[in-house]
Structure 1
Amino acid sequence: MRRYILTGTPGSGKTALLRHLETTGAGVVEEAATDVIALHQALGEPEPWRSPEFVDRVLRLQRGRQRDTAAWQHDTVFFDRSPICTLALSRYAAVPPSAALLAEVERVRAGHFYERDVFFVRHQGFVQPTAARRITLAESLVFERIHEDVYRELGYTLVDVPAGPLATRAGLIEETVRRTR
């Protein structure tokens, strides 16, 4: 099984790309942070990202979703973010990474869990606020840069997915996957 990461700034279109790739028969794994936020907001915590446990909550959900893919019959799986993104989130939030997060990042890096080519989905020039996404465009560009830095530090190759129509972006990803088989 080949596991690819889609990463980038909030609101860049990663979820739409994931939906498109899913229609081609690829396995897809949803982003964990949005689901952690939705759950804890439903439990009465209006800003769960401010909790000291937030990063590790995201990590636990990511690890569970990783384990679930072991039984899948897909040749290719796309992950909307990864524990490496969670490390970037930790840096962005100025929260020291937990031992569990550092161990997980090392596990996936050293064990080559994900492909070395990471699809870096670029911002589209705006951010649509949601209950879980309360980041400005300026803040998201800082977050984007931190993601780039973290992935490069860990030895991943970023495949640039520039802003543009969904079909064009998805085609770039599909062609890259075909070419690297």
Structure 2
Amino acid sequence: MDHLVVVTGGPGAGKTTLLDHLAGLGYARTPEAGRAIIRDQREIGGPGLDRDDPRLFGELMLQWELRSHREAAALPGPVFCDRGVPDLVGRHLLRGEQVPGHVAEAARRFRYHRTVFVAPPWAEIFGADTERHQSWDEAVRTHDAMVEAYPAFGYETVELPLVPVADRAAFVLERVRTSHPAP
């Protein structure tokens, strides 16, 4: 699945802004699982919120990422992914939990481009919103967990520069372009 390119990192680091910019340039992208699940669960009064049932929330996120992977795999590349299956491994590391076998197995089977882009914590753009309630400390720890999780499954992580979104996009495209032509 060399044409599936992951952008990961902690909350509030500019991942979605970057992916929206790339989509505006004509590249395919996947939506972020966490925000969509939170919106859906709130809308229906469901039990699958992290604060109410962290295990259920994690399973919903895993299923979302597996579905997103399958859908993205059918598209021509590159396809930019707002997180990936190994993010669920990182979630367990962040929480100090043992990674369940089925989560590790999913991370082994559902593969992405070898290079994974990591948005580092960026204080100037970090902020909470209606779906993101994490603190700055949790954002930093989430970043660190992703930087630990992806290499454990054979990925190379590349930190995104703290520059305007157009420059971030150029940075990513320069590294991906050699493998995949522009849309």
**TM-score between both structures, scaled by the size of structure 2:** 0.87
Alignment of 1:11-160 (within 5 A): 11-44=12-45, 48-50=49-51, 51=53, 52-72=55-75, 74-108=76-110, 113-126=111-124, 127-160=126-159
Post-superposition Cα deviations, 1:63-120, rounded to whole Å, max 9, x if no partner, equal 1111222432x22101000110111112212344333312201212xxxx21110011
**Paired-residue identity, %:** 26
Confirm or deny: 8 A CA contact 1:124 1:164 kept in the other structure: no
| Alignment partners' CA distance in 1, 2:65 and 2:46 | 21
Q: Distance in 2 between matches of 1:68 and 1:16?
A: 21
Supply the distance in 1 between the matched residues of 2:48 and 2:70 (Cα, whole angstroms). Answer: 28
Question: Quick one: distance in 2 between partners of 1:94 and 1:42?
Answer: 30
- The structural deviation recorded for 1:180 is 4.5
C-alpha contact 1:5 1:80 (8 A) present in aligned 2: yes
AA at the equivalent of 2:83: R
Report the count of equivalent residues.
176
Cα distance change of structure 1 residues 47 and 164 upon mapping to structure 2, 3 Å threshold: farther
In the alignment, structure 1 segments of 5+ residues that lack a partner are none
Per-residue deviation, residues 136-158 of structure 1 (Å, max 9, x unmatched): 11221111111101112222111
Unmatched 5+ stretches in structure 2: none
Tell me the distance in 2 between the aligned counterparts of 1:21 and 1:15. Answer: 10
What's the CA shift for 1:47?
7.8
TM-score by length of 1: 0.88
Task: Give the root-mean-square deviation of aligned CA atoms.
Answer: 1.9
Q: Are residues 116 and 129 of structure 1, via their aligned partners in 2, closer, same or farther at CA, if it must alter by over 3 Å?
A: same
In 2, Cα distance between equivalents of 1:159 and 1:138: 21
Helix, strand or coil for the counterpart of 1:133? coil
Aligned residue identity for 2:122: Q
Structure 2 CA distance, aligned partners of 1:70 and 1:119? 18
| One-letter amino acid of the counterpart of residue 103, structure 1 | E
**What do residues 16-57 of structure 1 show as CA deviations (whole Å, max 9, x unaligned)?**
111111122211001111111111122225881131211111
Amino acid at match of 1:24: L
Counterpart secondary structure, 1:48: coil
Partners of 1:3 and 1:47 in 2: CA distance: 27
